[in-house]
Amino acid sequence: MIKKLLIKNFALIKDLEIDFSSGFIVVSGETGAGKSIMLEAIALLMGKRSDSGILFDKNTKCVLELSLIIKNNKKNIFIENNIDFYSETIIRREIFNSGRSRAFINDTPVTLSVLNLITSNFLEIYSQNQSLNLKIPENQLDFLDKISHSSTQLSEYQSIFNEYTALNLEIAKIKETNILSNSEMDFLKFQINELKMSNLIVGEKEKLESEYKLIENSSSILENLSKIIQNLSAEGGVTSKISEIESDLKKISNFSDTLYELKERILSVRIDIQDIQEDLRHKYDSINIDPEKFVNISNRLDILNSLLLKHRKNDISELLILLEEMNLKLKASSDFDSFIEEKNQKLSMIKEKLIFSSKKLTEKRMSVCSRFTLEVESQLRKLGIKSPIFSININKKEEFSQNGVDDVKFLFSANKGSDAQELNKVVSGGELSRLMLCFSYLTSNYENLSCLIFDEIDTGVSGEIANLMSEMMKDISQYRQVISVTHLPQIASKACSHFRVYKTEHSNRTITKIKLLNKEERIEEIAKMLSGKKVTESSITNAKELLSQ
């Protein structure tokens, strides 16, 4: 669960610290007050990309910090990513005015992908956009993979699929090259032979250039090295002077700790200088002005640069890739039919593996469908839909794709006697909100999340349905922390804690703040949610009644 959220210099927030409790928490406030800023901060702490446009003060970095209480059974994911584990884990993100950002988990620097990997094991934000995205078939497939825990099977399938796709492209490329004429074959063989005879080695050119530079400037290097060594080692030189200083300090070093420390430091300096002097002598002795070697290096560089220029490449590694492509082209042309047959046989073997892997992936996805659909229908009945029909349709595609051969569609009907249809054809805003709440309720159990955050997921509902949704949120909060941003008084009244987001002005700047409401303040806030800005006696009475329920 989230224990604390710290926000500094972010959007309309200058400096804010929020302490959260366990259970059911609501956040309310007028439209535009800044409720979404808090959620955006949490999203950034979960790995969302940032930019400098969100800084309150452009001259100061933004600091976001999240304190999470984590159970020991989640320890392995920290160990796998070389991050220290603490039951109270600190997630930190710093964003600079350049747009650059840094992320830390328990003071260990992490990438945004690792940040998302870790935090997604504990937190999930459900927003209005997610409800709408649920209508898109690709997102339905992602959702099914999530609840079926099919990431291992999907990863295995995608690895084989990538191999299959690459070989298909290679075969197509070979067919495009087709058969070369005799003259083209001879020229290709000449080029291959020239590259082979050159004995190309990656990194050789850079090494030769370094040696060439050293020999070319050897006279100047030796002259200066000799001068430096003389200044260090001669009588009255640097080493001699430092030895004198060390001797003088040694005579007085026992009179104070500071003098003793200075004597030790001078000793360290003298040893370093002697090491440097030795290294300089070694370097001086190692420089060999060999005219023959210089000529050989020069000739070799000429050959390498000539090949690079001829084939319009930038480095040796590109020439080696070109050599491989030329050999492939020569082999394809020399024995085109047998070469294609060989490649097709390999493709058939990979296809068999791909078919087997795709079946395993389909089976894994289908393994949860029956149970999940029954659970969704059961939860929808609790939210006032008397005769819901929900099903997951999985059909086979004609071609392999990056995510398998499954064409997944979620079908739904809220009315008795009506056939279930695709979500984007039948679901109203209120029905979609309820469906999304059911999904989040069930997936939190599948994934064992410790905190669910709802961003106005109750959009499109009111009255009794809002009351039923609030009961479900309260039910979820018995097992995990629930934070709900809401405009509905029925939901706000069921929470254990109630925060109000509001705007204030300070030094000609609008600032967003958040306040934990006491009992009286909460009554007034819910009364406003019932009647608008003007609080009436009846709205106060209704607010008290809602809270007493």
Place of tokens 């839909």: 385
How large is the average pLDDT for residues 250-263? 88
How large is the average pLDDT for residues 411-434? 79
Q: Say yes or no to pLDDT of 230 above 70.
A: yes
Most confident of the following: 10-14, 24-28, 172-176? 24-28
User: Which alpha helices (H) appear in 392-533, and where do they start and end?
Assistant: 423-426, 429-447, 463-476, 489-492, 519-531
> Do 530 and 505 contact (CB within 8 A), yes or no?
no
pLDDT by residue (tens digit) across 338-364?
777 888 899 999 999 999 999 999 999
d(Cα 517, Cα 523) in Å, to the nearest integer? 9
Q: Say yes or no to pLDDT of 7 above 60.
A: yes
> Whose CA is closest to 239, among 268, 277, 284, 265?
277
CA distances from 336 to 172, 174, 181, 319, 333 (A): 13, 9, 13, 24, 5
Give the model's pLDDT for residue 534: 77
Q: pTM, whole model, 2 decimals? A: 0.61
* 222 residue type, one letter: L
CA distances from 370 to 19, 184, 377, 431, 434 (A): 41, 63, 11, 21, 20
d(Cα 271, Cα 273) in Å, to the nearest integer? 5
How large is the average pLDDT for residues 298-314? 91
Q: Say yes or no to pLDDT of 532 above 80.
A: no
User: What is the percent of the chain where pLDDT is above 70?
Assistant: 95
What domains sit in the chain, N to C, each tagged with a CATH number? 1-131+449-517 (3.40.50.300), 203-314 (no CATH)
User: What is the percent of the chain where pLDDT is above 90?
Assistant: 27
d(Cα 473, Cα 454) in Å, to the nearest integer? 9
| Burial degree of 394 (CB within 10 A; 0-12, 13-18, 19+) | middle
Give the model's pLDDT for residue 463: 77
Cβ-proximal residues to 298 (8 Å cutoff; 6+ apart), any chain: 212
Give the model's pLDDT for residue 122: 85
> Do 126 and 457 contact (CB within 8 A), yes or no?
yes
How large is the average pLDDT for residues 218-231? 87
Q: Say yes or no to pLDDT of 426 above 70.
A: no
Give the model's pLDDT for residue 337: 66
Range of lowest pLDDT (156-160, 257-261, 353-357)? 257-261
Q: Say yes or no to pLDDT of 131 above 60.
A: no
Q: What is the DSSP letter of 462?
A: -
Instruction: Provide the 3-class DSSP secondary structure of residue 478.
Output: coil
> Do 106 and 83 contact (CB within 8 A), yes or no?
yes
Give the model's pLDDT for residue 347: 93
Give the model's pLDDT for residue 443: 77
How large is the average pLDDT for residues 425-434? 74
Local confidence band at 65 (pLDDT 50, 70, 90 cut-offs): very high
List the Cα angle 486/492/497 in 5-degree steps.
Answer: 110
Range of lowest pLDDT (16-30, 103-117, 435-449)? 435-449
CB atoms within 10 A of CB 435: 24
> Do 411 and 435 contact (CB within 8 A), yes or no?
no
| Mean pLDDT computed over every residue of the chain | 86
How large is the average pLDDT for residues 508-525? 89
Place of tokens 């996805």: 365
Local confidence band at 369 (pLDDT 50, 70, 90 cut-offs): very high
